[in-house]
Structure 1
């Protein structure tokens, strides 16, 4: 298992020096400033590689950009409208440019409009630390009363609708504004000004698009890009929906093991693979993470290891980001399954034996609390998670007590 770390670029409050001191082996990054649908040019890619390759004092960092997260798939491609064909061609050009730069693992997602959704970005834990949280009651209050989406109440249980009505009535104007900002934080363009009318417009463009049609659009996209990726020696890996159930009336098509199996079978090319995110998939109690790794592991090209704690047994439930060993996913069993898959790859003579992973998300603790880093990406909280994951890996691989 290859230890990597997500870095958002030179503006990231976690520096290259910090990554080096954390002892990671590679870097996960993306060109977030390049507009979706545009080509990632060789010059832009090289500039990011150069930034990763140098520490603050100019000395070599010993780190390299090893995984792309994410090369964004445009809304036009997902809807098959507008400039979608040109965007696919630009995606292919970007793949060639990334291969030429020596980068071979490309993560992407196919979530309509929402990249991820949380109602709280700094929810206080009993320890005094904070974490991200999705509260189904608060989200229903946003959907029904703040966004005002037609028929929104039909997407929630009567109990949730009633509680959302009470919750919204008790919210201050400040909390209502904060809730709206938190929800749209994971929307395209939300780093800039993004109004509720913009959200409504994005959602309306998917009106009448069923999940099966969106899945068909994903298969069409993969049928175009995966043969090229295979030719270039690249590994594409789709990130699951976050959270893994429909929101805002939008379809979701990558939320379960069956979803992944369907896509792997439809475009049965080794380059067509999986980003196994234990946090996103772990929100659903019916997703067996070690089992998914055992059954679909040959196509897992990238791992996000994080944990969530479900706050109810419902499919649409509240949850929060737990400690890496403290949530509903059995992280020891999952890592054991990953190590077994790596042994199978070695025996088969595959070149991609070591699967890159990163400690995804983390709780804000200690000095993280004052840094105001990218939500979900505190330095100390992630380092704590990485240390815990390293401990599991070391124990399972120990010759005396290790994996049989």
Structure 2
């Protein structure tokens, strides 16, 4: 039987301590915690183990959840302005959609959808795909399936902070590679090499990168794959911005370079359909089967209605049309954004994104990024993500995927705030 002790630490977060016998290796109390291999803990207290579990708030998602629907101009999103169902489905498809039975469907994902997704990846088929409720669930299942307490995980920073948070909650030992603006936010392979040890379980990357929009070249991916192979570690590649490359040259998926790759992706960013909540995992069949079993504990299955629409989106011709729309919109808006930055000479530093609906900008103002973001929110009704959410103060992440008029109006209000600050 499990004993729960709850206390608080100096940071004001709850610490949950579970005492579990060898006979009860499963615990699901409050927040997910999961399946633990108890044998590694027997040496601590014989047949019992004490496992401290701390919950870490996902700062960026909490910030957006609280405020994104409370402002006139939400420039915190990193995707592309969404399409409508009418944009996607013809009359015959709409009739079929309206007559669908709203059942459970396939817990691993609709077979046709999994096939359509697999076509986007080299030498993959439906057995290599697991459909999830958004890429967030895909990231969650990846971390839950692979990472155990004490495993060494290497992560890039700045980064989308879901996987770092999950790794900390699980109890992994985390090492960060700190990306630099002056290098265009590209990964330093020498630094990565210095961090790898025989204890490393996972390297997690985001390519194209959130929040910087940097894209790894094929040569960089090959070098990373060679390092991962040398140390026999898994590579997780979050590729939710793949397909939105501003030059129109779609980056390769990392699974083309390395056999122990787990790709997470979805329809929220490049594909401009966040409301469908469709994501997926791509991996070898054995690992997909294991992750599918983990999914039984989370959402069971994705919506059959969302999957029906996703089948159309991931048809090769439709996929190309949607991604073409995204890159055209982002390219136009990036020029608009660059012109706005130029209207404030000396105030900003900026390595332009190569992909994605976001711009990560450094600033030369004597104000903390979170304080500045709240000032913009409360005084100008504009929401922008503070760099603090990525562990980097004095930066802001602007969303540039909205209609150009909307983006322009929001940026004008940011200019008013800057002037009020005396810059």
TM-score by length of 1: 0.29
TM-score by length of 2: 0.28
Q: Which structure's residues are more often strand, by fraction?
A: 2
Higher relative contact order (CA 8 A, sep 6+): 2
Whose radius of gyration is greater, 1 or 2? Answer: 2
